Each structure stands twice: as C-alpha cells, then as structure tokens.
Amino acid sequence: MGVMVRNLLAQLLGIATAISLAAVGGTAPVPAGAADVRGAPTAAADSPADLTGDIDFSVPSGTFQGELSVSLGTSVTGAEIRYTTDGTLPGPDSRRYDDTPLLLSGTTQLRARPFVGGAPAGDPGTALYVARAMDVSLDLPILVIDGYGKGKPGRDFVDSAALLFEPTGGYASLSATPTLATRIGYHLRGTSSSLFDKAPYRVEFRDNEDDDADYPVLGMPAESDWVLRGPYTDKALIREALTFDLARQLGYQAPRYAFVEFYLNVADRPLGAEDYQGVYMIVETIKNAKNRLDLKELDPDDVTLPAISGGYIFKFEWLTAEEPTLECVGRPATCWHYLEVVDPSPLQPEQQAWLTGHLQQFNDLMQSRSFADPTTGYPAWIDVGSFVDSLILNELTRNFDAYARSSYFYKDRGGKITAGPLWDLDITYGVGGGDNLETAGWQYEQPRWPKPNNWINRLVTDPAFVGLVRARWAELRRGPLSGAQLDARFAAITAPLVNAAERNFQRWPNLTTEKIGPIVTPTADTWQGQVRYMRDWMTERMAWLDSSAGWGGAAAAGG
C-alpha cells in the first residue's frame, strides 16, 4: 500500500467527511427488566447545596410520570420568591410565587430566587424534573441527559439536565433516587466518530451561575469536565477501558472511567425507551487539575523562568490541530507538525514562545548525531520511562492513531517532557484499516505525511533505548501482560457487561457488519465472540513482539 493510499485511509478514519458513517439501527428496545410504573419522583439523596441555594423545593430533583406538584419556600426573612421554567435565572420581573403549588407535566428546569424590595436577597436555586414514559431496571448505572426538546446537539454547548442512577441491590432504576442531579452543558465531540448515531459527547457540570461545578462520579474524584464515549466500532466494548486499566497499572497516565447505560432525550416529550443509547463510558477529560494531571498551574503573569517552564499539556493532532499551535523551524521531514497546546488556556504569547523554543531545542537535538548521549542527549530532556511505556502500549494495541493523533505529552515546572496520558483507543486490537489490522509489524513505521514527529523513530535507533524497551517488555510479560493476568483482566472487565452488551446490540445491531464507514471491524455473531477475537488478536500480537523480529523472546508461557 503506497504512502498516498495510506494517507487517504488515515484521513478517512480520522477526520470528518461528508459520508454518513451511521449504522442502520431499529427502534430502541425496552431493556430487559423494564416495567411501566407511575408515581411521584424519587429525589436526589444529596442535592448539591450550590444548586438548591436558598430555595426549599418540596420535591427535590428526580424523574416523574404524569403530573408533579412542587411547592417553593425560602429561609430568607421577608423575601418573596420569583421563578422561571425556561432555564433563565429569575429576575425581579420574573413570575412571583404566590404559595400555590406549581403543577408540572413535562421536563422542567425550575429555577427560583428570593427577593426583598425588588433586589436579590439570597442564592438562587434550581431543581431538575425529568418526565418519563416508562421505568427500567438495569444492572449497570443509568445516566440520563434531557435536552429540554432542543434537538440533537452540535459543537456548541446545550443547556441540559443530567441524572445519574446507581444500582441498589444489584439494579439501577429510573424511579429510584438519583445519585447526582445537576445542570450541564453538553455538545458533540470527536471527528469521524461524531458522525455515528452512537456519538461521543463532552459534558460540563454547571452551577447556577453557569460556572464549573465539581461533583464525584461513580467513585471517581470530583470534577466538572467529562466525556461520554460510546464504543461503536469497538464491538467488544472494552478496548479503551482495558487499555486505560493496563496503563495505570504500569504507572502510565490514563483517565479513569465508569461504564453506564445511557439515555439521551433530545425531543420535546417524556423520556422513553426509544432514547436508549446503549453502553457508554464516562471518562475523565485530560486537564491540569488536582484530580487529573495535577501540574503546576501557569498564571497569565508567569512569563519568566522558572515559572514559565511549566506546567504544559500539548498533543499531536494530525491534520486536525486547533489553535494555539506551535510552529517548528526546519526541514519538513525532521520538523514536528500539527502540535496543539491544550493547557494553559489561554496561552500567553510569552509562554507560547518559551514552549516553542524548548521543544525546538529538543527536536533539533533529536536530529543530531549526538542525540543519544547519556549526559547531554535525550535523557536530559525527556522522562525516558514514560516514552518506553508509550511505545509498548502503542505497539501492543497497534493503535491506528498512535504517534499521530490524540498523542499527548506534558511538562511540569522544572520537569522533563513526559509522554501521556493515553487517549482515544477505539481503533486498536484489530480494528481500523491497513497495517494496523496485522499482528506483525511496527506501528511507528506508518508512513503518514507530513509526519507529526519522528521522536520515537529516532529513539528506536538507539541501542540503549531499545534495551530498556526489551527489559520492560520482559518484565510486563511476567506480570500484567502474562496470559494468566490478561485472562483475569478480561474476565473482570467483561463480567458486569454481559446483560448490558445484549441490550446494546439490540439497539445497535452491527456485530456482523465488517465496515463501519471506512473502518474495518471484526465480525462475530455475538458480543462474546467479539471479546474472544480481541483476546486472540492480543495473543498473536504479543507472540510477534516476543519474537526475534520484535523485542526478543521475553515471554512468559501461555500468553
């Protein structure tokens, strides 16, 4: 396959096209265990204090069927209450609450605020009431997003309600108490994946002032920014999850996640069975925050050393990098391309210039004859261990986008350039196109043009670096990548998904569809068959990496 053909395939797999990649799907089923019930909503157990403010809602946030009566009160002395149902904050001219209970018949964002003498006299409060036409009982957590009938989202944030229901006694129900009920903004994300009916979304938790609101989610630390990823071309449903888990066990940065079954209502009607979207992952975004990467934060006035030296998060996004980007000076064959700065945001001109200069020095070094000098070469510039693990993870998975897209790096203040975190791993383990479907060969040899960078290609010419990779691979094959530990990992991650996977593929019947848009995927009659394909592919891939053509005979038996 020639370079031009490979580049065309890569573009088709990675950037938006005019061709719809949506799979053919039927009417959404009512998931197993569904039963229609009626009654008042069950309220959120712990409504966030910043959301309810100084308003007492007689019925806290939750779901309901039919009609719902809600009364309002406040502890602010001598205050009258003004309220809205259109999502806007109440003002002095908003409707006055006259002590008559409000009767709701549809999904409503009820917002209220106390006023004294025509002026705000306390914190506003919001309660979220999602109308539903049914109930379900599922063995995974249930996430509901209701967009108040505004239609499918585009690239701009849409004001919506989010409710999260965790299993109690083994099952989660829409009529039960939501663990979390919050205002959110959400929008479509991704490139080619955004064209799927089962699309990915960016979610931002919001308070009453539309600022970020940090809440814990399913055991993950409190944060405001999340991504919803719905495995679609990954018909085993676990490619990203398993690799994230493996990376964290290695000590490599990777997001935490949780599986949910997702309902999305974009229509102006009660939530129904047709809103079922299947199995999704709630995933931490990559950001500089205490519970994420936790680097030194660059303030706008950090424009001199040592403060200006970090922390930064940057990534390569072949053909799709967004501003601010960093420009390399030099020959196209040895320069970097499509390098986007993720954090800080906004990036000050002085910070952009400093980071560009720092990376230019490193890139120039990597093209020199002395790049591998143990004192002045790349070991003085990069966290070598992270680059070793990055190479192993990208080659193990044969990630189609490895080294080219969603290829993250970070640099803390006074620290070295570090590879990671992992991101975007759906086109892996035998899903994609071209050479990455094969279990033999090196993914770093993929001939994309212009090449985002040649750092790994240069590193693998250094015997000392390759020696570290071989030793690390041997260590991992005796531990996390041994056959026994991988089998245990597969069993643990798939066990909770058995029933949910059946519902997912009733909703999205693509198990035997080989090509989803331009993406080549395995075919198997069952989800279990898809999981087995992935496991078998890994066995063959590791056997090649164990061989003399790979990293050389280091395997434990039974891989």
Look up residue 319 and give its two tokens.
């053909």
More confident of the two residues 38 and 507: 507
* Residue 195 confidence (pLDDT): 79
How high does pLDDT run on average in the chain?
91
Q: Which residue is it, tokens 């071989």?
A: 470
- Please tell me whether the peptide bond between 324 and the residue prior to it is cis, using omega within 30 degrees of 0: yes
Stretch among 11-25, 353-367, 464-478 having the lowest mean pLDDT: 11-25
Q: What is the mean pLDDT of residues 399-407?
A: 96
Task: Kindly report, residue by residue over 286-328, the tens digit of the pLDDT.
Answer: 999 999 999 999 999 999 999 999 999 999 999 999 999 999 9
Q: What is the mean pLDDT of residues 482-495?
A: 98
Residues ≥6 apart with Cβ < 8 Å to 14: 191, 192, 318, 319, 320, 400, 401, 405
Interatomic CA distance for residues 286 and 408, integer angstroms: 9
* Residue 47 confidence (pLDDT): 43
User: Distance between alpha carbon 466 and the CA centroid of its chain, in Å?
Assistant: 32
- 295 closest CA partner among 280, 310, 282: 310
pLDDT class of 192 with cuts at 50, 70, 90: confident
- Please tell me whether the peptide bond between 344 and the residue prior to it is cis, using omega within 30 degrees of 0: yes
SS3 content of the chain, % helix, strand, coil (to 5): 25, 25, 50
Type and span of the H or E element at 487: helix 483-494
Structure pTM?
0.91
Interatomic CA distance for residues 226 and 37, integer angstroms: 32
Radius of gyration of the CA atoms of the chain, in A: 26
| Residue 519 confidence (pLDDT) above 90 | yes
Stretch among 11-20, 275-284, 333-342, 522-531 having the lowest mean pLDDT: 11-20
Per DSSP, the residues of 46-85 read T--HHHHTTEEESS-SEEESS-EEE-EEE-STT-EEEEES
| Residue 146 confidence (pLDDT) above 60 | yes
| Residue 394 confidence (pLDDT) above 70 | yes
